[in-house]
Structure 1
């Protein structure tokens, strides 16, 4: 049996369990356990909200979720001999759902509480729940689809050092200052009130929490990158900033579309990871690494047929031309896919949550052809119980009126 280095107690909140999780990044958070290069261990994790979301048909919990508490991370773990400038090599040997929690959820946050990629089109909170059947998932809220999971951690990374901590805080504060009253905000600054600092002593934890990073964005150390291909069989190379590395992880998804466009974006779940660790000494300099590098799994489920939607960098409301703006172009590709699938009986909300949970492929097709960037969104046709390809007869309504659950 693989040694379990971190267990979660789903009948307790993260704040109540004996070995504390952490929901901030800071160089002084103590290691939970030390391992040698070549060791293998298991890590259990809460879902990213720490159990704030229930398996029901109301989205009130999505509307009311406290985003200052997320993400709840298991770790950090040290590796003997890892020093700043090394690369920490992490093999994801296995990843899955906890036996007592065979379900997940997806949600869109209300505009005033986080919002989403298409927030101007979908400003209200809603959610979908997904049940796991062996390797497959399906949802009572989005009928007519079923697919195998590409299960992965949305968030995994190493502790930053003080230099990186301060640099990121400075640049993010400068961004916020350009529009401090924006809704949703431009960034998530340090917030000590709900910080959970792992095994730090209370006095030190309070001081560190005032400058600790929130976990929402990815940064140079890894973090919340939401890469769906970090699945079983993948390998990641993390730059090491502090002695031991300080590897932490959480935010496991059963499945996710590229972009995680609903923000609460994949099929979020409590789960486990089996991890192997090693070190490449002086790897940062040897390979010129600034951000993590990864090699995807060879055993992910593959789909042979896709329908692909294009988008260009022209605003959908005003018709304003943007210059090579991939953000606008990808938004247009997503909106084009939503309008198309609505013709089969889905609501816009159902398609939106589907694009964020299904293994869709997002790509930058062109970023040099002035003035329009072109992005594509590819949906595997095999996840549907019916044929979604265009034909001369035209689309026919295929799904029931079942809907994602809205907040009351």
Structure 2
């Protein structure tokens, strides 16, 4: 079979997944630098939800099995101090997804204490906007929420916090065409990926995106001696083109603490959407998470900083 960079030559099944970072996990395959492969990824709940699920199913989700990642993949010749270059080629979405308000999780967990589940049925081929309600449709941009390599420290490490080697970064721009550079800390790098999303806003403020199983095709290469201190990436073009056409509604939070300002900005948008579009606050919060963007607007005018929250008006067109 060919190992040409544009033709995947092997597929790693989602059965080969793990739910934490541990450099003792045996690799499922070995690739040479420059090879391309496809990894089948489960959603963030490991397939817990289906089209008949309800909010009651949130309570039975096993927290020890969230964010499964497919792998690890051993990259021949990768050594500590190298950079693993991951070129994201494409995604094959499943067409089914979910978003949820999970008690005790999310930026406004103290304000939204009851579970809520929204199920998505989107066109996996045309990738037209996902229907949230009669009047709200969310443009899609598939990406990998969790993507990284093993840490040097031995033992099991929680999958939820992002780390210097990547992991659960939830950066919406880990999309097709992006080139990601990860610092290698162990021989072979031990690359894994999962937690795929059909769409998400910057911040993922309620704690979930449009969580959706899908296949991801990547090319893995090495930059010898080129490890960055933290992950860095290059995008192939504009990153919000799918949202920009109709402009934005924006709210702000201002004060001496960035996290408090972020909460104030999101709370303001939830209130604004609830009044402007006659949405239940829970639905406004979910929409903010799947397509609204938190931005740090100012960090130099001490003692107060400005955080803004942008919501794309195209959702209601």
TM-score by length of 1: 0.72
Aligned to 1:150: 141
Structure 1 position 26 matched with structure 2 position 19: no
Q: Tell me which residue corresponds to 1:66.
A: 62
The residue that corresponds to 2:284 in the other structure is 351
Rounded to whole Å, the distance in 1 between the matches of 2:112 and 2:149 is 34
DSSP 3-state at the match of 2:265: helix
The 2-side partners of 1:139 and 1:67 are apart by 28
Pick aligned residue for 2:216 from 243, 268, 273: 273
| Cα distance in structure 2, aligned partners of 1:5 and 1:225 | 24
Q: Please tell me whether the aligned partners of residues 309 and 377 of structure 1 are also in contact (alpha carbons under 8 angstroms).
A: yes
Post-superposition Cα deviations, 1:163-189, rounded to whole Å, max 9, x if no partner, equal: xx5xxxxxxxxxxxxxxxxxxxxxxxx
CA distance in 2, matches of 1:54, 1:246: 31
Q: 2:211 is paired with a residue of what secondary structure?
A: strand
1:326 — aligned with what?
A: 258
Is 1:131 paired with 2:121? Answer: yes
TM superposition shift of 1:299: 6.6
Q: Does the aligned pair in 2 maintain the 1:63–1:126 contact within 8 Å?
A: no
Output one character per residue of 1:177-228: Cα deviation in whole Å (capped at 9) or x when no partner. Answer: xxxxxxxxxxxxxxxxxxxxxxxxxxxxxxxxxx401100001110000000
Aligned-pair distance for 1:54?
2.3
Q: CA deviation at 1:373?
A: 1.5
The counterpart of 1:235, out of the listed 171, 179, 196, is 179
Judge conservation of contact 1:131–1:137 (CA < 8 Å) in 2. Answer: no
**Structure 1 residue 295: deviation in Å?**
1.0
Check whether the contact 2:122–2:131 (CA below 8 A) recurs between aligned residues: no
Q: Number of matched residues?
A: 305
Cα shift readout 1:207-266 (whole Å, capped 9, x = no counterpart) = xxxx40110000111000000011001010000011111100000000001111111x11
- Residue 63 of structure 1 deviates from its aligned partner by 2.6
In the alignment, the residues of structure 2 paired with residue 137 and residue 356 of structure 1 have an alpha-carbon distance, to the nearest angstrom, of 15
Distance (Å, rounded) in 1 between the aligned partners of 2:24 and 2:187: 11
Q: Normalised by the size of structure 2, how large is the TM-score?
A: 0.92
Conservation of the 8 A alpha-carbon contact between 2:130 and 2:139 = no
Distance in structure 2 (CA, Å) of the matches to 1:235 and 1:54: 33
How far, CA to CA, are the matches of 2:138 and 2:200 in structure 1?
11
Q: Is 1:361 matched with 2:300?
A: no
Q: Tell me the SS of whatever aligns to 1:365.
A: strand
Displacement of 1:342 in angstroms is: 0.8
CA distance in 2, matches of 1:339, 1:96: 36
Q: Contact 1:130/1:137 (CA < 8 Å) preserved in 2?
A: no
| Higher strand content, 1 or 2 | 2
SS at match of 2:264: helix
Call closer, same or farther: CA 1:137–1:129 in 2, change over 3 Å: farther
1:161 aligns with 2:161: no
Aligned Cα RMSD in Å? Answer: 1.6
User: What stretches of structure 2 of length at least 5 have no aligned partner?
Assistant: 1-6
CA contact (8 A) 1:24 1:213 kept: yes
- Where does the alignment leave 5 or more consecutive residues of structure 1 unmatched? 9-16, 166-210, 314-323, 386-408
Aligned-residue offset at 1:150: 1.2
Instruction: Give 1:110's aligned residue.
Output: 103
1:246 to 1:362, Cα distance in 2 relative to 1, 3 A: same
1:261 aligns with 2:205: yes
Whole-angstrom distance in 1 between the partners of 2:100 and 2:257 = 26
The aligned counterpart of 1:311 is: 253
Q: State the Cα distance separating 1:369 from its structure 2 match.
A: 2.0
Supply the distance in 1 between the matched residues of 2:252 and 2:176 (Cα, whole angstroms).
Answer: 30
